Amino acid sequence: MSQVTCVVCGSQQLRLYLDDRTENFDSASFGSSRKAISHGRIMRCTQCGFGFRQERSTEREMAELYRRMDPRVYEAEAAGRARTAARHLRIVQRHQPPGRILDVGCASGLFLKLAAGAGWAVEGIEPSETLHRTAAAALAGVGQVHCGTLEESGLAPGSFDAITIWDVLEHVPDPNGFLARCRSLLRPEGRLYANVPNIDSKEARLLGKRWPLLLAEHLNYFNRSSLTICGQKAGLEWLSFGQRPSWFSTGYIMYRLAQHKIPGSSFGSRLARGRLGKIAIPINLGEICAVGRRCS
């Protein structure tokens, strides 16, 4: 354990947070269509509070897993995700007027389509081949979508007024380096918008090992301290921290809770079949929604 270091601050002062020895690390255990949850061994840094999965794939390995994941359950939640995307756009527009925006991990392109309709010049990156095709079709004639990772995109430095990484930073092996790459793509005073799991949230503390954001594909779990350090090392200044709800159908919520074996969720899943299961509601999962800017 002494040889393991915190990937944010570099400290070797760590403690075991959670340990799941039945872990799987393949495409079948990724994404909303997974059949079972296995988060692996999670360590916490006693210096900055950062939580991280000890077994860490490379960016190439993670991208390959995402290319092969099954997105059917994810795509079935399009109505709720569109409402979440609309909230994301309102967050962005509170901080700056329309310009050129990049959405990293753009999925099926819902956010970018809304942004384009609001006057933004849009571009996206998505590693899942299936979701990339959906996004490219949705943005045909409006914006470009790259299939692959941020590093593979070949985008020019200083190209964007805004970059969004909604639910992305928890998936990358090197969060410091990833944020530094995002910073390089921003124009002076450009804004970065991020949403990440908050390991110190009341939801994480209350639910413990059943916290729905404990997932095989989540390599990183932040709190305000570790996210601040990560941003500083990348040349970013965080302007605000908050929390935003996500919209999901009641059927999907029960499905996810059942994956984590939350008591009563199996019964709730049966009740949520049919019309009742299609009702979309906002819920807080225990995340940090942060707005930052490029430091000169």
**209-230 tens-digit pLDDT:** 989 899 888 999 999 999 999 9
Which SS3 state, helix, strand or coil, does residue 259 take?
helix
In this model, does residue 124 exceed pLDDT 80? Answer: yes
What is the bridge-based pairing of β-strands 100-104 and 121-126?
parallel
- Predicted confidence at residue 256, as pLDDT, reads 76
- Predicted confidence at residue 269, as pLDDT, reads 62
**CB-based contacts of 98, cutoff 8 Å, min separation 6:** 115, 118, 119, 120, 121
- Predicted confidence at residue 222, as pLDDT, reads 98
Range list of H helices, the chain? 59-68, 72-76, 78-95, 110-117, 129-138, 175-185, 202-207, 224-234, 250-259, 265-271
- Predicted confidence at residue 76, as pLDDT, reads 79
User: Does residue 136 come out as left (phi exceeding 0), alpha (psi in the -120 to 50 range) or beta?
Assistant: alpha
In this model, does residue 85 exceed pLDDT 50? Answer: yes
- Predicted confidence at residue 1, as pLDDT, reads 42
Between CA 187 and CA 95 the distance in angstroms is 15
The residue-averaged pLDDT of 138-167 equals 95
In this model, does residue 158 exceed pLDDT 70? Answer: yes
- Predicted confidence at residue 2, as pLDDT, reads 46
pLDDT tens-digit series, residues 246-284 = 999 888 888 777 777 777 666 656 656 666 677 889 999
pTM above 0.85, yes or no: yes
Confidence of residue 162 (pLDDT cuts 50, 70, 90): very high
Question: In the chain, pLDDT over 70 holds for what percent of residues?
Answer: 89
Token readout for 167 is 């639910």
User: Does residue 192 come out as left (phi exceeding 0), alpha (psi in the -120 to 50 range) or beta?
Assistant: beta
Confidence of residue 30 (pLDDT cuts 50, 70, 90): low
pLDDT tens-digit series, residues 43-54 = 999 999 999 999
Nearest-5° Cα angle at 7, 287 to 221 = 15
- Predicted confidence at residue 22, as pLDDT, reads 58
Please list the helix, strand and coil fractions of the chain in percent, rounded to the nearest 5, in that order. Answer: 40, 25, 35
